[in-house]
Structure formats: C-alpha cells, structure tokens
Amino acid sequence: MASIRRELVGLIEREAIPREQVERAVRLSGLHPTGRAWSVFVDRLLLWLGTLALAFAVLFFIAYNWAEMTRWLRFGLVQVALVAAIAVYCWGARRPEVARASLTAASLLLGVLLALFGQVYQTGADPWQLFFIWAVLMLPWVLVARFDVLWVAWLGLLNVSLALYFRIWGGAFGLFASDVAALWGLFVLNTLALVAWELAARRWYWLAAGWPTRLLALGGGIPITLLVITFIFNERADFSPSLLVYALWLLALYVVYRHWKPDLFMLAGGCLSAIVVTTLFLGRHLFGQAEAAGFLMMSLVVLGLGSAAVLWLKRLHVEMSS
C-alpha cells in the first residue's frame, strides 16, 4: 500500500488538488507533526535521557570515588538505586513509558552491581559469565516489560557472552577454532531469534516494529558472510559447511522478505552480502594471475553487480509501494 506522502505527491502532480489548497492538504494529511506531537516527543526524550543519565551516573560516581568509598558504601549506593528504580516501576505501572524507562534503568544497574561484585571480590570468573548471569537475572524484567528495546538488549547480552565463551573455549569437541566457533554461535543465535521474533510479532503487536528484526538479520548475516569469507581465504580448505548454509540463508531471505513479508532493507542486505562474497572470491583467483588485470576485472564486477542490485531493488520498491 502506498504511503500517505506518495499518494499526496501523486495527487499534486496530477493537479487533482488545486495549488491554493496544497498547503491545507499537507496540513490535514498529518505529514507535519502537530504541537501536541512535539510535546510528547520532547517529554519522552527528556524522560529517557534523564533515566540513562541517572543510571550511568551511579557507575561513574563509584568509579571516580573508588578509593574514598568503602566496600559497603559502594554496594549500598548501587542497591539503593536499584530498589529506587523498581519502586518507580511499581509507582508508574499505569504509565507505560515511565515503567519501561525504570525497568531499563534497573537492568543497567543490575549489570553495574554484578560488575562491582566481580571487581570487589575478584572471583576469577571468565568475562562471559558476567554477561550470561546478567542476561539470566534480567530475563524476568524483560518478560514483564513487554518492551522491544529490552528484548534487544537482552539478546545483545547473550551475543556478548556467547562470543566471549567461544573465544575462550573454542568450538564443541575442538571441531572449530575459537573465532570460527564464535561466528557460528552468533549466526545460530541471531537467526533463531529472528525466526522467533517474526513468528511472535504476528501475535503480539508490540513486537511488530521493524528495526529489531533488521538488527537481528544483521546479527545473523554478518557472521555467516564472514564465515564464507574465511573459507575463501583459507588455502588449506576444499569445502566448508558455511557454503551450503550461506546459500540456504540467501534463499530463505529472498523467499521470506520478497513474498511472505516484503522488506527492502532485508533484500538490500542480502544483495550486499552476495556482492562482497562474489567480489572477494573472484579477487582471490584473479589477483593470482595478473594483478593489474585483476583490479580491472574487480572494478567491473563491483560496478556490474552493484548496478544490477540497484535496478532490481528500485523495481521492487515500485512494486511494494503500489
């Protein structure tokens, strides 16, 4: 379905709206925010900036005054701030924006408390355990909040903990090197999260915002692209399962976001990934033969593939807008 802006532009170009009425039509269409809309925007902006400032102020205050503060004072300050954030949530439960901001602050302060505990007692735990425990303890608040930003933050903690775990311990049974295992872990986690998010968004409207799914698609697409690039430049490998998985990922991306849920951003990301992989694959073989000719061919390939992708995406954009 065409947007209101596109429909209005079409009416103006066809002169269906008299020139003297264009300004009134634009005002009635709601394209320009009203004074009330600006007031709501400023109010929410100040709420979130103030919430984040207070949460980070606790962290910076303790770090700056570390030597002058006793152990109990450090823990007491963080815990008081944490309890205050929960109290604000209970007090403002009927105001969704206040409740979400307070739970976000509480989630940040929980991480500060865990970091403080590890710094004071020097437990010797691996870094990934901090982020994993943070995600586990934060999960009930994420479930209660029904807030997409907190869900994305929770998934971000899982990404960090998973990447740090594989960087330390490598793949299962030593099948993969640490870096490769980390990329595989991130790809599987974010792809499963993307599938779950898309299915859940059909039932719960608050998950229907487009930016989290696009962020998760990047979280899955970048690792699988890097895995294929790693294989391309690995002279000792003749085959890698990443090739098959990458082909299936591109096919699924096309089928889902071309026919089931059209999304130009997702398709553009798939095109960019395919262009990068194709260019590097050709570059590795062409440079080995003649460097000057290889650079020339690489330039032509990039221009050709980029132009083809732009034309295809523009045609899809017209179809999706009609």
Give the tokens for residue 178. Answer: 């640490």
Question: What torsion, rounded to 10 degrees, do the Cα atoms 53, 58, 63, 66 define?
Answer: 150
Dist. CA 39–CA 220, nearest whole Å:
38
User: Which residues lie closer than 8 Å to 82 by C-beta, 6 or more apart?
Assistant: 106, 109, 110, 113
pLDDT of residue 60: 92
Q: What is the mean pLDDT of residues 16-43?
A: 73
pLDDT exceeds 90 at position 250: yes
Contact 266, 219 (CB under 8 A): no
Q: What is the DSSP letter of 92?
A: T
Contact 213, 201 (CB under 8 A): yes
Q: What is the mean pLDDT of residues 189-195?
A: 94
Tell me the pTM: 0.83
Q: Which candidate, 259, 137, 262, 145, places its Cα nearest to that of 204? A: 145
pLDDT tens-digit map of 110-140: 999 998 888 888 766 678 888 999 999 999 9
Going from N- to C-terminal start, the domains of the chain cover 1-32, 35-124
C-alpha distance from residue 117 to each of 78, 79, 120, 231 (Å): 11, 12, 5, 41
Coil, strand or helix: which one is 175?
A: coil
Q: Pick the residue with more confidence: 320 or 107? A: 107
- Angle formed by the axes of helices 241-255 and 264-286, nearest 10°: 150
